[in-house]
Amino acid sequence: MKIQTHTAHFTAPLYLESGRILEPYDIIYETYGELNEARDNVVLVCHALSGSHHAAGLYEGDRKPGWWDALIGPGKGIDTDKHFVICTNVIGSCFGSTGPMSPMYPSEQPYRLKFPVVTIKDMVRAQRQLLGQLGIHRLKAIVGGSMGGMQALQFAVDYPGFAERVIPLACPYATRPWVIAFNKVAVEAIRRDPRFENGNYAPDAFREKGCDGLAIGRIAGHISYLSPRSMDEKFGRNYVSTDGLFELFGRYEVERYMEYNTNNFSRVFDPLSYLYIVKAINTFNLSRGYDSLHDAVRRIRASVHLIGFAGDYLFFPEEMEHLARMLRRNGQRHSYHEIDSDYGHDAFLVEVEKFDFLIKEILEEER
């Protein structure tokens, strides 16, 4: 599989939903496969909160592949022998696209808290600008899970007819208070961490020891990504063999797992980016800017293929079912598939074998 990483630089302003302007800005993106002569085999893949443009394949020297490697590649659900796949890192992130720790032109000082609030709509607008610069004016499909699914839906509403198919997985039409409450734990933990210094920390401040506030907040997030049953199966009530049961801070295996994963995460993900992306997730509402959700959905010209997961305790499958019923009443082309899973929200990343064939069928069906 041919993998290429690029950075696109834009000097024209990006007009944000807030009324502010981002100028100039960069978008880093990765491509897989080959663009055909007709330029009609392009699949845009959108990442979730902690993802990046590196969706598949291995970088030289790395042991861990891209976050959706099980789905993207030769002969896989998104077959790179047939499709040209583009995955961008969203604006506001910390993996190469312009974000809060990027230099604030014309100075070399980072934006920090002067970075404008960005929304899912803004992320999509930036992606649309990139595609235009690449000479791509039609997509075969847009695919994404969680926050990536939000982007896919927003793209379908804001740019009707640009994509032939839209495949959102494990996402809502608007973020509910349940999710915002989980995110609040992360926001407050980061803000109250003394080393956060109100966003004025050094760029490499957390590289070695991590950000305690982000690690704590990530624990709350990680709980929401799993399910009670998946935790039972993965950990049971097993206790760490080297810890004493009657030691005050002795740990169950589930506690050790949370510590290990979240501490590592807090060394590689920038806390300011986390705050900005969480804000984008919290403010997601497909109907904003339109008279109603019904009016927003009526704009869609793509065929919409919704994939929910039975054990998702973050974005419940009934949220996707609500959209499916609306599309059905409108007579719009759509399908809804609920995947039988006890894993939780992260099933869209982990249990790819349960739905990859669906995505393959959707991409290969005749229009």
What positions carry a catalytic annotation? 146, 312, 345
SS3 for 27? strand
| Helices 271-282 + 120-133 axis angle, to 10 | 100
For residue 230, the tally of other CB atoms under 10 A from its CB is 20
| Helices 212-225 + 253-268 axis angle, to 10 | 120
Tell me the sheet residues that pair with 151: none
For residue 197, the tally of other CB atoms under 10 A from its CB is 11
Long-range contacts at 265-269 (CB < 8 A, ≥ 24 apart): 265/50, 265/210, 265/214, 265/215, 265/218, 266/206, 266/210, 266/211, 266/212, 266/214, 266/215, 266/218, 267/206, 267/207, 267/208, 267/209, 267/210, 269/50, 269/94, 269/214
Residues in the chain: 367
CB 83 within 8 A of CB 42: yes
Q: Where are the alpha helices (DSSP H) in 42-196?
A: 120-133, 147-158, 177-191
Distance, in Å, from the CA atom of 328 to the CA atom of 174, rounded to the nearest integer, reads: 19
Q: Where are the alpha helices (DSSP H) in the chain?
A: 120-133, 147-158, 177-191, 212-225, 228-235, 253-268, 271-282, 293-298, 317-330, 347-350, 356-364
Token pair, residue 144, equals 């994404």
